[in-house]
């Protein structure tokens, strides 16, 4: 059967764009559909604008530190208008780059929402196109808790589009996005309160690392409430009380007016009431699988709605593959890109390639940052005997400026093989550091091989090759 395309990609995020370009480079005829802006979550409403906001938010701290170093420095006011104008121009530029890359690779761009019609057909803008292979790379979206008036809250998507910087926010959640935005907005001068329902933020990360980070965030001025969640929210009046909306003031049946932008009244699980300019829900993300035609075509999804795939990113329908956040595996841009490349190797280069999801380094861009690769101490302890090498100290640059904040450098080492099983760093630039350590951990280097590497002095990370005696063993 003759198809219109060899490959039809649905979704113009990092994974879809890379797969489309690399497949086209093999000589395949490729089309890609995107319903919104080319670049997807990472470029348009995730990693890129978030990192720009991280940069913007660190300047007040740097200026304060500069004074301790003898500079007569004062920071003025922050102009959200100026910054967001620059940020949007940068996103437009990057979107243009993505489009030009696709054009230059001879990938046909279809602007619109593509839906699966059958195992080899998609429908978009009223037309059907057939393809030998279809790749679903539609990503995910933020989700809010199921409480009345939740629509009054913002998601991470909305933060980048705010007209002005709020004076106060409540951030709900304790994951990557919640912690990053708590630090960003605090750094920009917003009064930040954060509710996390669990005992400690960043569930799944090394306990000692997340403990130190939580301490640091609190010390810097983020009002972090653990074991706390939001139970009710409503528009607030001038006296900081809930405004009755609908038949019932704040109950389940109440309905907030659309496009409400005023202050929000919140009641929490501990019974306290407060008002905030915004409530930001950073309560997780869900895969973009609704209305894609998956059920009609018979593509299996899991309990969370993510597309089920095998090690080669193939779904139960042989002609349909899926990569990135829509598969709910590891929701990180570089992973989606690697899944896209492995897909192209498997399908277009005759080299069946499994995606390697083991030992992926990652960083939470809080202040300070948390960089991590491999097992946490808690995971490693369950897997076998370990030595833990750990040091926490005041880094030279900040200590000189009078700061009492500490950094953490931690290695988890297998007692039997001496391999470094995990590394956890809480420090400024931990994201940069963990990229390098990740190479060593991924390649199975031992503690002794770490130590055979000469220290770079004076740095914070020299501790990673100079910790001689285990702090504890388990």
Tell me which residues are annotated as active site.
457
Query: Residue 135 and residue 340: Cα distance in Å, rounded?
Result: 9
Closer residue to ligand NDP, CB minimum distance, 107 or 179: 179
Dihedral (Cα; 241, 246, 249, 253), 10-degree rounding:
-130
Closer residue to ligand NDP, CB minimum distance, 28 or 434: 434
* Region near ligand NDP per CB under 6 A, out of 167-175, 300-308, 416-424, 439-447: 167-175
Site map (CB under 6 A) of ligand NDP, residues 357-396, x = contact = -----xxxx-------------------------------
Residue 174 binds ligand NDP, judged by CB under 6 A: yes
Binder among 284, 305, 395, 470 for ligand NDP (CB under 6 A): 284
Cα dihedral sign, 144-149-154-157: positive
Residue 197 binds ligand NDP, judged by CB under 6 A: yes
Query: Residue 190 and residue 264: Cα distance in Å, rounded?
Result: 16
Binding-site size for ligand NDP (CB under 6 A) equals: 24
Query: Residue 306 and residue 62: Cα distance in Å, rounded?
Result: 42
Q: What is the DSSP string of 20-43?
A: HHHHHHTT--EEEEESS-TTHHHH
Q: Where in 301-330 is the site for ligand NDP (CB under 6 A)?
A: none
* Region near ligand NDP per CB under 6 A, out of 170-178, 307-315, 402-410, 447-455: 170-178
184 and 280 in contact (C-beta within 8 Å)?
Answer: no
**Among candidate residues 438, 423, 427, the one with its CA nearest the CA of residue 386:** 423
Query: Residue 102 and residue 109: Cα distance in Å, rounded?
Result: 8
394 and 208 in contact (C-beta within 8 Å)?
Answer: no
Residue 175 binds ligand NDP, judged by CB under 6 A: yes
271 and 231 in contact (C-beta within 8 Å)?
Answer: no
- CB 339 to ligand NDP: min, Å: 14
Closer residue to ligand NDP, CB minimum distance, 251 or 284: 284
Residue 283 binds ligand NDP, judged by CB under 6 A: yes
Query: Residue 308 and residue 52: Cα distance in Å, rounded?
Result: 34
Q: Where in 101-160 is the site for ligand NDP (CB under 6 A)?
A: 145
Residue nearest to ligand NDP (CB): 175
Binder among 100, 164, 203, 357 for ligand NDP (CB under 6 A): 203
Residue 178 binds ligand NDP, judged by CB under 6 A: yes
Applying CB under 6 A, which residues contact ligand NDP? 145, 172-178, 180, 196-198, 203, 229, 282-285, 331-332, 362-365
């Amino acid at each position: 059967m003759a198809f219109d395309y060899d490959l039809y990609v649905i979704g113009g995020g990092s994974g879809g764009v890379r797969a489309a370009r690399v497949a086209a480079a093999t000589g395949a005829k490729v089309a890609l559909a995107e319903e919104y802006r080319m670049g997807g979550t990472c470029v348009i409403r995730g990693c890129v604008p978030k990192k720009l906001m991280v940069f913007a938010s660190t300047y007040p701290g740097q200026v304060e530190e500069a004074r301790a170093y003898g500079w007569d420095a004062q920071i003025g006011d922050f102009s959200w208008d100026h910054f967001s104008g620059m940020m949007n121009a940068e996103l437009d530029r990057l979107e243009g780059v993505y489009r030009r890359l696709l054009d230059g690779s001879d990938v046909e761009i279809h602007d619109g929402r593509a839906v699966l019609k059958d195992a080899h057909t998609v429908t978009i803008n009223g037309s059907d196109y057939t393809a030998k292979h279809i790749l679903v790379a539609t990503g995910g979206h933020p989700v809010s808790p199921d409480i009345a008036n939740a629509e009054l809250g913002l998601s991470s998507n909305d933060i980048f589009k705010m007209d002005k910087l709020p004076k106060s926010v409540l951030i709900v959640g304790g994951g990557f996005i919640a912690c990053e935005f708590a630090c960003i907005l605090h750094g920009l001068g917003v009064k930040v309160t954060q509710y996390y329902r669990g005992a400690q933020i960043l569930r799944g990360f090394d306990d000692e690392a997340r403990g130190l980070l939580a301490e640091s965030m609190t010390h810097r001025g983020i009002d972090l409430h653990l074991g706390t969640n939001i139970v009710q929210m409503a528009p607030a009046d001038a006296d900081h009380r809930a405004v009755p909306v609908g038949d019932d003031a704040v109950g389940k049946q109440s309905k907030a007016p659309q496009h409400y932008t005023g202050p929000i009244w919140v009641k929490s699980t501990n019974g306290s009431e407060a008002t905030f300019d915004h409530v930001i829900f950073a309560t997780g993300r869900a895969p973009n699988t609704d209305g894609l035609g998956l059920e009609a075509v018979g593509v299996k999804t899991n309990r969370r709605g993510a597309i089920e795939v095998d090690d080669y990113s193939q779904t139960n329908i042989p002609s349909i593959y899926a990569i990135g956040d829509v598969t709910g595996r590891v929701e990180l841009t570089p992973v989606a890109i690697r899944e896209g490349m492995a897909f192209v190797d498997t399908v277009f280069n005759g080299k069946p390639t499994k995606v390697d999801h083991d030992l992926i380094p990652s960083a939470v861009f809080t202040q300070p940052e948390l960089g991590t690769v491999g097992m946490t101490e808690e995971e490693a302890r369950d897997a076998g005997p370990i030595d833990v090498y750990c040091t926490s100290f005041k880094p030279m640059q900040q200590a000189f400026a009078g700061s009492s904040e500490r950094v953490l450098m931690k290695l988890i080492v297998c007692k039997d093989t001496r391999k470094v099983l995990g590394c956890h760093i809480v420090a400024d630039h931990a994201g940069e550091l963990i990229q390098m350590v990740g190479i060593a951990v991924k390649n199975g280097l031992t503690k002794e091989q770490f130590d055979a590497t000469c220290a770079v002095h004076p740095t914070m990370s020299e501790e990673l090759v100079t910790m001689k005696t285990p702090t504890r063993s388990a």
